[in-house]
Structure 1
Amino acid sequence: MTPNYTLSGRYRIVRSLGEGGMANVYLAHDLILDRDVAVKLLRLDLRDDPKTIKRFQREALATTELVHPHIVSLYDVGEENGMQYLVMEYVKGMDLKNYIKSQFPLPLQQVLDIMAQILSAVATAHAHNIIHRDLKPQNILIDEAGNAKITDFGIAVALSEHTMTQTNTILGSVHYLSPEQARGSMATKQSDIYSLGIILYEMLTGSVPFNGETAVSIALKHFQSAIPSVRDYDADIPQALENVVLRATAKDPRNRYAAVEDMAADLKTTLAPARAGEKRFEPADLNIDETKIMPSADIQAALAASQDGKTQVMPRAHEAPAKPKPAASKPAEATPEDKPLPKRSWAKRHPLRRKLLIGLGIVLLFALAVLVGWELSQPQATTIPKVTGMTKQAATETLAKRHLSVGTVRRVKSNRVRKNQVIKSTPGAKTSVPERSKIGLTISSGAKEMSFGNYVNDSYQDVRQTLKSAGFTVKKVYSTSDVTAGQIISQDVAAGSRVLPTDTTVTFTVSAGSHYVNLKDLTGESQRDILTYAQDNGLNVNFQRGYTDEQKEGYSYDQEPDGGTNVRSGSTVTVMMSRGNQPTNQPDPKNFYVKVTIPFKALTAAAPQANNVKIYLEDDTHTRETLYRELTIMHDTRISLPFQLTGDLKGRYRIVRNGVTIANKTQITAEDATN
């Protein structure tokens, strides 16, 4: 199909989007409704194949029945010049397979959000008794807003249409194939759940659990090998989340979730603190097959069938009938023929059998020696140690202790593992392998930029856990608001900005509600205790330092407002922390300014957004943890920072723009003053 060709006088082909085993997909423009659409056109070499046509038509029928925001919509079905086509919703973005490759590692909350959308769509299909049978990341599209949409119901089947599923016929992608499908059994709703578990595994680890040189070898692993642990890849993944993977991919369908809705409900709470200590999921032993006792009549019939004839006893060839004894009256004279033959041993009587037995014995001894030698030459089994988080050198030494060596080394970007540290080993930890095996290592080549989301109106606790697991440093300040306490009001990192998680500190302004707090007297308390009190009551604290004879160093000696005052949640309390007694003969403090220029960074060229800037100072009166000033800039801005330093004390400042530290200067003295 060439560009600018108009299908049925309505759909003008723009370009090719991809080619599949059954059909080719094109981007087209609907000339009537003035919108972009995706046209799925049956391949020319298959248009006379009745099975392919039936499958193509089945996709149209299945998609027509399913109306869901996370299932690609079907707009039209048609035929032109013997070419059958489907007109579908065009999803601008990429499939989940490529999305994982480009964005990995995905924040855990994002993994849960995408899976929730997929599960909701599959639940709708199952409610219509339609099984997808080919769920895989390549059949899940992610649009530019991050929404998932399932497509390709080409081999979907209604539960009532048993004739569409042929025994010993495997349909679907082998990497996501359920054990029962690998055996050739009919697909069920639990088969889709198994595929969903593999998709979740891939989103968490970046790869499928089973690989092999052939499709058959991969299929065998699906019903013979245990699913590798996602926590061996990343120990920060909660056990509750791994349990969803383990239960969805249980070998026996009876151990899986009874319905997709059950999986969705379980997945939703995996990051909840209440499930932090959850034990690893172990499937129930459902092997209830018993040894069947065959009836006696069947046993007799079987015995009769196995007996082809009775064993016959044959006379020896050298034995002759006994001769009659001679008359006793006159013994006959012995002749040479009448003399008894000398007795011979069995070996002399059977020389050929003797040679055969000796030869057989030699062969058996030789075979036994070969087997023993082969067994002794084989490497002993050993278990792969855990090397995640180690440097390549440390991992090499650890593997060597188990008589293993490093094989292929692959470097990938990672926001969870520091640069030059091991992300995972292949095979994974605790896997039994022969000694002298080569173990592949995946090593972090450093963090990669990711697009920061918009978390306004979300729960701070949920967002904090998600971002911390992705490598961000997360802080908060309170603000009085009519918004529900605990919800995020604003963020200092602009949504959509590209940031390095490990280098980014994001500060959220969190609603403290609208109630009042009776402020207690904070004098005489440590900084840690004051912060805990402020956290529990939704207050912000501004620490300052000074000399005093009233309180020992490190404890507060004054506050503003005073204790007993009613203050609104989200208010800021200034607390003076003691630096100890005023030193004798202490020189007068030096007061000076340091001027710095804060560069503006345009997030988008089309519509520049203001930069959020936070400045932290440390001198006689300021502490490094306390925010000195916050401002927004739309261009390069020059400001003056005030310092007061006494004696040999050194100052410092830190400037954070959109959550990223852009300046961090220490050892500041009066000599750095700007005239």
Structure 2
Amino acid sequence: MKIGYALDGRYQIKKTLGEGGMANVYLAYDLILKRNVTVKLMRLDLQDDKAAIRRFKREANSLTELINPNIVSIYDIGEDHGMQYLVMEYVDGMDLKQYLKLNYPLSYERVIEIMQQILAAVSEAHAHGIIHRDLKPQNILIDRQGNVKVTDFGIAVAAAEETMTRTNTLMGSVHYISPEQARGSIITKQSDLYSLGIVLFELLTNHLPYEGNTAVAIALKHYQGQMPSVREYDANIPQSLENVILHATAKSLTDRYQTAVEMSADLKTALSPSRQNEVKWTPSEIEDGQTKVLPDLTNFKDVNDDLTQTKKLGTKQSKPSQAKPAPKANFFKRHKRPLLALGIITLIVIIAAVLSLPREATVPDLRGMTRAEAERMLKDEKLEIGSTTYQASEKYSYHQIIASDPRQGTVVKNGAKIDVIVSSGLKKVAFGNYRGKKYKQVKKTLEKHGAIVYKKTKYSDKYAKGTIISQSIDSKQKVAMSQVTVSFTVSLGSKNILLKDLLGESLSKVQAYADKYDLNLVIKHASSNEEKDTIISQYPYAGTYIGRGGNLTVTLSDGPESSSSSASSSSKSKKSSSSSKASSAKTFSSSSSASTSTQTLAQRTVTIPYSGTDGQAVEAKIYLEDKIHSLSSVYKTLQITSDTQEVLSFVLDSNQAGKYKVVVDGEVVVEDNSVTP
């Protein structure tokens, strides 16, 4: 596709992002909505392939059903001059393979956070009967904010319509395929969970569990090989976290996690102290492909052996000898025919009785299967599927069987009908709008319903500290709370605080004020005619701005120094109070009655250069030295996302010079050792 061409006059191609088996992927610009989008355009050599077109449209239809913050959204489907195209959300970031390469090793908490978001996406797909079939790091995207987006449902198929591979070839990437995919057997939702077990292995070790010279060799290892231990790569990995991998990658479907929700719940508590001494997980079922020992048949004898005579090859059979004349016909010979008839009748009656006896079968375990899968299994057991009722379920995904009646293990007659209870999925409700609400309370409420909640912080002049500014899930989006992973942006309050007049306030009130705005309170004492234990001066002054984390210095009255000097102290106190309220003054008297030196106020506007990338926050530390502060202590810490200006105020004695420096990533980026008024 030529750069600059506009599909349907709307989606202008900007550059090529990649090429796939059936479609090429482009970055495009939506000329109407003014935003970047991803366009998948079917390859020109497949435009006349009806099967390929059906498959391409099936991908589009599958994606339209999936609405989840961790799944790449589809915006539009169309055709331009015979070219089939699909317009999707553009994710500005990288795939998980690249992310791991750049950021390995990841913390265990970050690994779990990534996996939880992937599982939320897979759970949503499974709830709509869609199996991804090709889950791998290359199909999992990470945006610049660290959010996960699962993409490429190009070979996904509605499980209710088709569960077998469409050809004899293996589908999906061989390093991540399940044992049932490797042998070309039925693929279920648990096949996706196996692939995610491999992804988790890779996130923890930066290695793949199985390697080989050919795809067949690797596939055989998935089918037959034992899963290596991640603890061989990193002995610090908790056994409980390795157990999630072992459970997800069990060869037997019975031993493997039944649903993405079940795997997510286990992963959620993997780092819990209560699981610190967990033993290694082992499967309970005999794995497929194990050698079965047959019973010894040497002691069994064919009932026909006593009735069969052996003939030697190449010899003539001797003639029977002349029978001697039989004695006079006895009773049996006289009644031969009637007795023979009676025997035949008796035999027929016995055979009829045996045939009329009811044949029996054992009801198999149908839990986790779709109705179509259960119907096939029951047919093999000479049973039939009966009525179907639907029931909401936290454990089983949409269209999976919850239970059967009679239940599994029950012995029934051949041909019996087995009723099934099928999951209607989780009850979905509108997520709700939490903007402006207290984060701690919202987090507590949502986690009670099983949601996973993450927090980001941001300064805000509009929202009070601790309240929610924004949320990653739209308020009207229908969700199942137990499957939700949501990120809230929480206010840190205003970045700069306009100081109020604290003179005359008690120390407890000033301390509460400092705590509210994250200020470091510095307390000094001085004799004064003002009421004891009240504030007689403050710095910075009322009406000036101070950044969060800055120092607020106040002087606390100790009462009059002595009765003889009360008048003088009172005069000095009033003069100090008057001077403190005049925030624009450049010269003021010391609040200490014992000092007569003159102090001056100097200010410097400092520009801190931004050294980060793409707006990611960088920590800048400011050190300041004056009459009050020491250059050895941090004066203020900032999180900057661009070049930032800060106004620094210095209290200096006469003939004293102030100093300051700004440190970013361990390097001094700005400094001045001669600050004067």
More RCO (CA 8 Å, sep 6+): 1
TM-score (structure 1 length as normaliser):
0.49
TM-score (structure 2 length as normaliser):
0.49
